[in-house]
Structure 1
């Protein structure tokens, strides 16, 4: 994995602009701690930070190909999981390769198929290709948006980078927040609108899209989308197809020239992937290392709730012993979580969900000591329709994103004039309606089936991007690559049209996946009900947040005071608010402390 940054200027010579380009790549150095590279020409400046995973000697970037007097230059972040097949196909078409890297395969695929080359890729990637032959920049992103890519147009310039912080290093990109951006932050939370980068006049390349920029203008192109059609396979065929796709996907994603490990929570998703990977390791005479996360006093403090039914650790041990992994459980105290709360915000350049992101970052930091690459079960719930909301009428019939139904507390803390300017309910409804307009419907479905398809679309296109952002930034902040087999676009395409009742066969969420893992996992593990990512229950965590928020409120320079109602925040921080208390207070304080630091550290100018 890596980080890319640069810009195109159609009117000015960039040959001497290495200083700015290096500042842009330095901002994302943690994404690629192993090497740096630069290429500058008359109209292009491309920079790269490298995390070496495949072909240490041959994968240096930006990578160039010269045709006549013109260069085609590639800066790329990601992995191609089908690069060996593509390489052989391209060799048959007459292409010659100097390295064993997937980067060179991507470059030659572009040379062979031009813009259509993205339709030949299977992987996680974000890239920038400058083609001097046509003086055109092409920016592209993988099918599900696992790897990030942002851009900002400034006249004849297009500035781009893996993270927003790299764009902000360019002198023509400023940190500004307007009404729409603030509505995203307070109305949608971390689950922002695809393509919306929150900062004014900065955009995101959407998943499954590419952007071209030349003297002819800028064009946005969608090369992949979900297509609704009747699912004709019977249950047995469906189970076998899912199993084969997962086996193929995991095997592809085990390719690495650096140590690889697997995340293991004891839940269905990570356990199944660990079992497949563990089998491959065993056949090669190796033992798969696995990692899980836990918290100090978790057993004593644990309480069941809507999303967490039982403790993970006993199940982690069960799976590790069954598969035969070398397991390590990493345990964190509450004060460590408070101390590192702002790190994920700095990684994402945006406020996030707090403790859950913090613990993930700390886990990756520990894993990085032993490895460079990990497998993760992320996204299975989104693509297999595994959340409880899929069968609850309140959520199925809502005219709002299901995860926002109980977000009313956010508007309570805003000043009256800010509430009036933003009208968060209207903004939430607008964004929901826009998502509905994209939905590929299937004629002939029952009303309930149509609602479940709609719910699935919302989770895949609106909720999953947040989960992938969280994982990418938390891992890359530590120079660590996380692969997500459940995001293989072939699997997602297939699952999209499986009826919800078949996905939930045996009257249990993700029942079809449980059947696919038969033989890989013990029955008690396969039938364990969903339990969400673990969270600390230690009262010391909330106490730390309360103390911190009171310090913020006592500082008249705190930027949050220009937006939020100080009296309400004091009530919450003192544990005196009649509604926002306990776990509700934790989640809100997590978020607001990040917003305050974000506005301050990024020196954001509010334009309301």
Structure 2
């Protein structure tokens, strides 16, 4: 895993622009703490920050391919899980390799197949390729968009990088946010619309897409999408297929030249992956290390709610004992959470959800002390339709993204004139209708099946990108790589057409996955009901974030005054508001504190128009 930065310009000589490229590349030093590399030519300049995982000596970047007058340069972030098979196939076509890295395999894949190379990959990746002979820049991103990639077109130049901060480090790109960007921030929250960078004229390469640029212009190509067809496998065949795919992808994703560990919450998803990984470790005479998160006084403060049925730690110990892992429980208190609240915002270059992302960042900080790579159960709920929303009519019939039904308080604290200008309800509806318009419904489906397919599509293409973005930024901010086996595109393709009634067989969420883990996990663990990512319930956290918000409100120069109804926010921070209290108050204040600090730290210029 790494960080990439680059720049192409068809009318300017870039060969002497090392200082600008250095600033761009070093802005993401956290993504690649092990090495730095640069390559500059007349029309293109590439930078790279490396986190060494495979082939320490052979994977140095940017990597070049030269043959006669042909020069191809690559800067790449990610892992190709099928690089060994691809290498053998390419060798059969006459290619010769100098290293054992997947980087060289990706480069030779482009030499062999050009843009179609992405159709041969199984992995998580974001890359830039400059083809000197064709005068072309190609930016490609993996199927689900696990690894990030942004770009900005400025005149004859294209600037790109792993994170928005790379682009903002270039003198042609300013930190400007217009009405659409603010509508994203306050209408969609952290669940950013794929393809949008929030900052004005900063775009994102969507998952499953690549973009090519030449002197004549640009072209975006979608190389992968979900295709609907009737599911014809019986239940047992479905179970075997899921189990086989998971065993294969876990084995592939354990390949590394650095220590690999597992995240473990005691829930079905992470427990199943831990059991499969643990079996592999035991076969090689090794002990798997696992990590979980907990909070100070959680035994005292825990409260059951809509998404959290019980505490994780008893289940974590149960799974760790069953698999035989060496487990590490990482515990945080409210002081530490508050002290690091802004780190996820700095990692994402945008305001984040808050305390949930802070605790994830802190967990990775601790894990990095022992390892470089981890497996995570992220995305199982999205691809197996595991959320409660999949079977509740209120959410199935809503003409809005289901996760936004309970997300209104933050936008309510905006000034009336700002709300009028942003038209947030209309904005959310437009984004929802765009998503629904993409869905490949299956002819002949009953209305309930259509609604469930629609819900599945929304979660895979709109909610999952946020979850993956959150995990990538929180981990890579600490120079730590997280792999997500449930995002293997083969598994996602297969599950897309498995009916909800089969996915929830046994009248329990992810029932089909529970059956796939028979004999892998103890029955009580397999049958544990879903409990969401943990969050602190300590009232001290709300007190601390409230004080922070009040300090901001007392500062006449705080930039957020231009956006919010200060009186309304003050009532929330003082605990005097009926419309925002408890968990809602904490979410509002978490977000607004970050928005204020983001506006200030990034020097954001707001363009709201007339």
Q: TM-score range by the shorter chain?
A: over 0.9
* 1-structure distance, mates of 2:278, 2:299: 28
The within-5 A match list for 1:86-235 is 86-235=86-235
Report Cα offsets for 1:390-447 as digits up to 9, x if no partner. Answer: 0000000000000011222123201010010011000000000000111111011110
Name the SS of the counterpart of 1:85 in structure 2.
helix
Report Cα offsets for 1:212-237 as digits up to 9, x if no partner. Answer: 00022100100000001100000000
The within-5 A match list for 1:195-344 is 195-344=195-344
Name the SS of the counterpart of 1:506 in structure 2.
coil
Name the SS of the counterpart of 1:46 in structure 2.
strand
* 2-structure distance, mates of 1:411, 1:191: 14
* 1-structure distance, mates of 2:155, 2:86: 37
* 2-structure distance, mates of 1:366, 1:477: 12
* 1-structure distance, mates of 2:408, 2:264: 34
Q: Which 4+ stretches in 1 moved above 4 angstroms?
A: none
Q: Paired residue for 2:487?
A: 487
CA drift at 1:69: 2.1
* 2-structure distance, mates of 1:355, 1:419: 26
* 1-structure distance, mates of 2:466, 2:411: 21
* 2-structure distance, mates of 1:550, 1:361: 25
* 2-structure distance, mates of 1:411, 1:517: 42
Report Cα offsets for 1:510-543 as digits up to 9, x if no partner. Answer: 0000000000100000000000000000001000
TM (norm. structure 2) is: 0.99
CA drift at 1:68: 1.3
CA drift at 1:6: 1.1
The within-5 A match list for 1:383-394 is 383-394=383-394
Report Cα offsets for 1:227-254 as digits up to 9, x if no partner. Answer: 0110000000000000000000000000
The within-5 A match list for 1:466-505 is 466-505=466-505
TM (norm. structure 1) is: 1.00
CA drift at 1:288: 0.3
The within-5 A match list for 1:40-119 is 40-119=40-119
* 2-structure distance, mates of 1:118, 1:242: 24
* 1-structure distance, mates of 2:385, 2:391: 10
Q: Paired residue for 1:421?
A: 421
* 2-structure distance, mates of 1:405, 1:374: 33
Question: 2:579 aligned with 1:568, yes or no?
Answer: no
* 2-structure distance, mates of 1:130, 1:401: 38
Could you list the runs of 5+ residues in structure 2 that have no partner in the other structure?
none
* 1-structure distance, mates of 2:589, 2:380: 29
CA drift at 1:30: 0.3
* 1-structure distance, mates of 2:256, 2:407: 42
Q: Paired residue for 2:535?
A: 535
Q: What is the RMSD of the two structures over their aligned residues, measured on CA atoms? A: 0.5
Report Cα offsets for 1:447-483 as digits up to 9, x if no partner. Answer: 0000000000000000000000000000000000000
* 2-structure distance, mates of 1:251, 1:117: 23
Report Cα offsets for 1:76-113 as digits up to 9, x if no partner. Answer: 00000000000000000100000000000000000000
Could you list the runs of 5+ residues in structure 1 that have no partner in the other structure?
none
Report Cα offsets for 1:32-77 as digits up to 9, x if no partner. Answer: 0000000000100000000000000000000001121231000000
* 1-structure distance, mates of 2:578, 2:77: 48
Name the SS of the counterpart of 2:7 in structure 1.
strand
Q: Paired residue for 1:524?
A: 524
* 2-structure distance, mates of 1:222, 1:59: 28
The within-5 A match list for 1:3-18 is 3-18=3-18
* 1-structure distance, mates of 2:12, 2:446: 58
Number of residues of Structure 1 aligned to a counterpart in Structure 2: 608
Name the SS of the counterpart of 1:219 in structure 2.
strand
* 2-structure distance, mates of 1:67, 1:205: 29
Name the SS of the counterpart of 1:436 in structure 2.
helix
